[in-house]
Chains A and B, each alone.
Chain A
Amino acid sequence: MQGTLNKVMGMSGNWLALSRVKGIARYRLRTLSVIVIWILAVMAGSGMLALFLPALFALDTPNFNGVSANMAVAVITAFVCGCITAHRHTRFCLRPGTPRLPVWLCNLLTLALAMAVILVGSMLISASLGLLTYQFSLGSASFTLSGYTSIGFLEGSEFLSVSLNDALKGLPRQIGYLTEWSCLCYFIGCCLRRKKWLTLTIIIGVPLAYVLLMVIPVLRRTIETAMDGQPSELIIMGMQWMRWLMDILRFIRNEWPSVLFGTAVISLPLGYWCMRGTKFP
């Protein structure tokens, strides 16, 4: 052991060896893999239930609607895992006296990796369920595969292969979005660790206040117009509402990728800054 001691003393300047990156990565992958396996198992189980239960009780004809990666589950998991990472996992990694930079770096990388695994896993589960439905559809009319794809409405094996192809094409972009979401979720987790109530107030309070400030005057005007009993004005107002909603949807559709990317980029240094100054018992 004296030899290994000399080895450690001679490692001065070797950041990679002394920063404990390997250990943090091992720890994070070990703990996150448990969460990922559980989520994928639940997704597979619920998919199977959704496929077989209606057929089993003759409730409905199960129809497979196409191969897709479950982005919603992945984002929710990213938020939950981001919070766990910022709290418990960071505390464990820092406790023996680990520098904060490698902990932050490994936290982000492993979080993004785990979420990508969930996304790819959900797509594989979806594809497997599609294949299973196709196999059953060959022997029974109770199972069908049909839906819209990039080349139009298709059925059967053609639908399965085209929708799988479509899903694969969209996967890199989805992984990119999920990575951005992971950065944002980790930042929120760090803020929650540091100032829980302030963060919750901002996350919930600001959008709520914004919506209320926008909606309440419009609602009041609508009620006043309805009381006055002028149907033509009500129609005009309804159209204005529709236009307003369409504008919002258009903005989200066109600008959302840039907004998300910008937020993720900003949350990276902010997340480190927040985590660096947080006390850990």
Chain B
Amino acid sequence: MDALEQIKPALYVSGVSCQFGKTKALDNLSATVQAGQIVGLLGRNGAGKSTLLRIISAQLKPDAGKTFIFGKKTGAADALGKLCLIGDSADFGGLSNMKALFYVCEGLYPAWDNAYAQMLMRRFDLPEKKKLKGFSRGMKTAALLITGLASGAPLTVFDEPSLGLDAVMRERFYDTLLEDKQKNPGRTFILSTHLIDEVARTLDYAILIDAGSLLYEGPVSDLTALYLSISGADEAVKHAANGHTIMKEEKTAGSVILHLKLKHAEDAGHIMADNDIRCASMSLQRLFVLLVEEKEAARCAGNA
């Protein structure tokens, strides 16, 4: 890690607010991403993910708040030079083919790895000399992902990385991401997506946002350890849930399913030891949905 050990957070967002007309895209959002992680910026459509990424990449000025990349204020070359943002729009600026794109990227990114880019091009089955205009949506997305991976940027951000990609290519991308992470432990990746379950296996850290505000920020392991789904007979399940927050209750034929927020992560062991109930850890997507529903219920209660 050398110098990377002493570096500041890869991304620090403090009290960022942004409004478009009457719509609040971001509302006093704060988050910190330490270097060397794969981070999921997760939220529903219109939650404010892309707005946040546009602010980070200095394409948009926030109404309030500040963002820092490796300790440097966003907007300065020192900060932006360490960032590579791969947006969801497949715009190659009129460049003809992959060869031309790589030629430009080699100049854009100081740590560009051409051999790695060539290897990825073969891995994603992309032709080197075919016109980029003739690429399908999936191929265009793959081309963008290759530029992000081969950029070598210390902070690489992918906005909706799976747009148009088929299942095989998506999995190939996540595998490549994990491989890259192993080779470069200091590199930070942010994946912004609403397809939560799909990226869940790659993530170390999650930032969940909804309607422009933060729902949760922390390691994925901490998050999943605190939430549990239990099912079984009504009485046994209710007894096990005693002292914990019931986020949702579902009734099926003869049994009850409770989605719980545990008081302490260690409590999961006690509940699992009970033979009368079945326990399952919650998927990140399920958890996200529950958190959103909880927030909406709180908002409705507040309005009432």
Contact = CB atoms under 8 A, between A and B. Distances in A.
Interface of A: 1-2, 4-13, 15, 17-20, 22-27, 30-31, 34, 88-89, 91-102, 279-281
Contacts of A19: 77, 81
A91 B85 CA distance: 13
B10 to A, nearest CB: 11
Contacts of A12: 72, 78
B8 to A, nearest CB: 11
17 contacts: A2-B184, A4-B152, A8-B154, A9-B154, A9-B186, A12-B78, A13-B78, A17-B81, A17-B110, A19-B77, A22-B107, A23-B105, A26-B106, A27-B107, A91-B93, A97-B83, A98-B80
A26 B111 contact: no
Q: Please give me the 9 A-B residue pairs with the lowest Cβ-Cβ distance, nearest first.
A: A18-B81, A92-B93, A23-B108, A23-B107, A97-B57, A22-B107, A4-B111, A19-B77, A26-B107
B104 to A, nearest CB: 4
- Kindly state the interface size class of chain B when it binds its partner: 35 or more
A31 B107 contact: no
A94 B75 CA distance: 11
Given A1-B180, A18-B77, 4 more contacts: A1-B183, A15-B78, A26-B107, A31-B94
Classify the secondary structure of A's interface with B.
helix
Contacts of B107: 20, 22-27
Interface in B14-48: none
Given A23-B107, A97-B85, A99-B80, A5 B152 contact: yes
Interface of B: 2-4, 7, 56-60, 70, 72, 75-78, 80-87, 89, 91-95, 100, 103-111, 113, 116, 151-154, 157, 180, 183-187
B7 A9 contact: yes
A146 to B, nearest CB: 44
B59 A94 contact: yes
Nearest to B92: A92
Contact of B108 (A5, A24, A281): A24
Given A96-B57, A96-B84, A26 B4 contact: no
Contact of B103 (A15, A26, A92, A98): A26
A11 B81 contact: yes
A1 B111 contact: yes
Contacts of B105: 23
